[in-house]
Structure 1
Amino acid sequence: MGRQILEIKNLKKNYPGAFDLSIDSFSIGSDTTCVLIGPNGSGKSTLIKLINLLEEPDEGQIIFNGADILKSGKEKPLYRKMMAAVFQEPLLYNMSVYNNIILGLNLRKIKIKEKKQVFDYLIEKLHLEKLLLRNPKSLSGGEQQRVSLARSLVLEPELLLLDEPLANIDQLSREGLRKDLFGVLKDMGRSILYVTHDRNEAMMLADYISVINKGKIEQSGSRADVFTKPANEFVAKFVGIESLIEGIVIENKDNVCRVKINGSSIFAVSGFCPGQAVTAAIRPEDVTLYSDETVGPGYGPDSYSKNSSALNLLEGSISAVQDFGFFKKIEVDCGFKLISFVTANSIERMGLMAGKRIKASFKASSVHLFEK
């Protein structure tokens, strides 16, 4: 991630009767967007408040631009001025939209002409041109949040903290604001910590993802690593992997494992050794379904190959079909549960329905193993 603008070490905060926040290590690189995802009540907002010096931890370090800001004493307000935060609920004042947006500049004694270029850019990109003279009380929730975002972004902070800024907005407004906001964030190239429980937002925005649960970081890594190589069962489920299959590694040739599962076996690209108990995680979009009798040569357990693109082929019956509108979730019983996403057109073309016998295939490289 290059230079780290923020480092957290051994940070702890106790909430009696609730949970303990305990972050051993966490960092954000310069000009990097880190998305922190996790369920409600996992500690996401608490971490934002600690970083923004709105709360004090019980122990630990928050190192911002090389300085431990928890020990900065009278300089704490200076460090807070280098950050800006937007929360779920817009906090706007009884003044015009224009005056709300420049409020932070006034408090920092920054002349508007010094920020005119970024001000004009934000007004255009966040579609606030016709709202500048209005009172925030007359705006919709989505419009109010656009004003809050503009007020923070016009400061061009070294670190921007966004705590689920789209969570309380209706779906139609949220989709429009998400598109506009994400475009602005990528254009401005700031260091950003974006908090959400929406994995789709994480996929769209993140350079780097951290998953938090019960006050602890479960996994940090690139978008691809977290979504395709989860560290454990919690992370796998949270990023949308429902096919989690327990088995035993019975063979490994050139880092292609054969994993025994309920009398059957699948291949996976991994370094696990024979005898190790593992969980196989397979994303639903990596599973292809076939209704015909032949799917081509070289498939199945007898096609053992060191080629990571080798396909697993399993037979089973459809145990459930769940409708999600443009696509359907198909649950296949292959002696274990296997999930696939299929378009409505494919459902109709293949005549897929509960009880139908089906074949399912997936690459060995699409199977991620982690220790059971």
Structure 2
Amino acid sequence: MIYSIRGMTKIFGGRTVLDVDSLDIPKGKITALLGPNGAGKTTLLSILAFLSRPASGSLAYDSREVRFTESHMHPLRREVVLMNQHPIMFSQTVCKNMEFGLKLRKVGKEERRKIIRENLKLVGLDHFEQARAHKLSGGETQRIAIARALALSPRVILCDEPLASVDSQNQAIIVSLLRQINKERGITVIFTSHDAVWARNLAHETVYLDGGRPVDSVLENILSGNAARTEAGEVWFASGDGTRLPLPEGIEGQVRVSLDPSALKINHSSAPGQGDGLKGRVHQISREKNGIRIVVDAGALISVIMPEKEYKAMAPGIGDKVQVAIPPNAVKILNG
């Protein structure tokens, strides 16, 4: 195992944001940390990068116990690189940005240039050496950040939401790059995401965090909002992005819900007799072991797993208007 965590907590402002009883992350694999916003994913990455200290508990790195002192963590940081969700680039050339870490490690000029060219070529941006780094697109910035991380020859790369704010073309390139560096260089890759669809396709292992704690089952379609009773006496849930759905009796106030993708049903929006449900357009389609995953943009992105027979009969396409029916057994009420 590259990391082993036991009894770890992290507290901010008197609130426990991370509470991990036991977690092992394998060496040489790609591991996804999944969960909604505020689940503790970024907090955990910061600890794994030796940039933050937990309030309690222990961490072993490559079977060595980590002492959370500056003198002990400093050399470990040379083996682990953290890529932030929005990588910071100096207002200089790409070459100058990539040189910075190498200069700190006292790498000679000729060797620096060789390393920079080699890694820019790997990410497909070898002609960007003299480009102004702060003027790059979001996808190009992420790819330069990967090249900059690789230039330091890390054993572990930690990526915080690497596909956030990246166009679909660069998403595919970044996914391919993460696979490549893991396979060819043996680098352990750990990334966070709230999108279980592409995370499952990339990762060898997945860890789901909810409320700062690892949970056994992967909850999907997690929505936060308010439950209130209407004049008609029904209880309805409303999230900040406008998603609305009926809830069982007795639920009121701030609440989080999870919608089981295997229990949801997709219908054509024009189908007769279709009343309540989430209306939207098909955003993404992918094949999985247990069926066809349809992602519907209904204000929030909602995943639905369709049996292949149903999918072939309905044949929904990207951009089609559909309605997601939500039977009562699909709704799980989480802690508020």
In structure 1, the residue matched to 2:289 is none
1:91 aligned onto 2:88? yes
Q: 1:72 Cα deviation (Å)?
A: 5.0
Moved more, 8-17 or 112-121: 112-121
The CA distance in 2 between the partners of 1:87 and 1:23, in whole Å, is 22
In structure 2, the residue matched to 1:347 is 314
The CA distance in 1 between the partners of 2:114 and 2:29, in whole Å, is 23
AA matched with 1:147: I
The CA distance in 1 between the partners of 2:150 and 2:315, in whole Å, is 48
Is the Cα contact below 8 Å between 1:38 and 1:238 reproduced in 2? Answer: no
The CA distance in 2 between the partners of 1:13 and 1:283, in whole Å, is 34
Is the Cα contact below 8 Å between 2:122 and 2:147 reproduced in 1? Answer: no
1:132-190, CA deviations, whole angstroms, 9 ceiling, x for partnerless residues? 01221221122122111111112221121111122122344334433344434433221
| 1:82 aligned residue (63, 79, 82) | 79
In structure 1, the residue matched to 2:262 is 283
AA matched with 1:346: A
AA matched with 1:81: R
1:233-285, CA deviations, whole angstroms, 9 ceiling, x for partnerless residues? xx24359xxxxxxxxxxxxxxxxxxxxxxxxxxxxxxxxxxxxxxxxx78379
Is the Cα contact below 8 Å between 2:284 and 2:295 reproduced in 1? Answer: no
The CA distance in 1 between the partners of 2:201 and 2:109, in whole Å, is 32
| 2:282 aligned residue (312, 324, 331) | 324
Is the Cα contact below 8 Å between 1:14 and 1:58 reproduced in 2? Answer: yes
3-state secondary structure, aligned to 2:8? strand
Residues paired across the two proteins, number: 259
Is the Cα contact below 8 Å between 2:20 and 2:212 reproduced in 1? Answer: yes
Runs of 5+ unmatched residues, structure 1: 220-229, 240-280, 290-316, 331-337, 355-372
Change (3 A) 1:79 1:201: same
| 2:211 aligned residue (194, 204, 214) | 214
In structure 2, the residue matched to 1:277 is none
3-state secondary structure, aligned to 2:214? strand
Change (3 A) 1:82 1:177: closer
Is the Cα contact below 8 Å between 1:37 and 1:212 reproduced in 2? Answer: yes
| 2:156 aligned residue (147, 155, 159) | 159
AA matched with 1:144: T
AA matched with 1:324: V
In structure 2, the residue matched to 1:276 is none
Change (3 A) 1:117 1:9: farther
| 1:69 aligned residue (47, 66, 70) | 66
Instruction: Give the 5 Å matches for 1:197-346.
Output: 197-219=194-216, 230=217, 235-238=218-221, 283=262, 323-324=281-282, 340=306, 346=313
RMSD (Å) for aligned C-alpha atoms:
3.7
The CA distance in 1 between the partners of 2:69 and 2:139, in whole Å, is 37
The two structures have a TM-score, normalised by structure 1, of 0.60
Change (3 A) 1:200 1:13: same
In structure 1, the residue matched to 2:141 is 144
Change (3 A) 1:83 1:138: same
Change (3 A) 1:38 1:134: same
Identity %: 24
Change (3 A) 1:60 1:160: same
Is the Cα contact below 8 Å between 1:329 and 1:340 reproduced in 2? Answer: no
Q: 1:98 Cα deviation (Å)?
A: 1.2
Name the larger-Rg structure.
1
Is the Cα contact below 8 Å between 1:96 and 1:133 reproduced in 2? Answer: yes
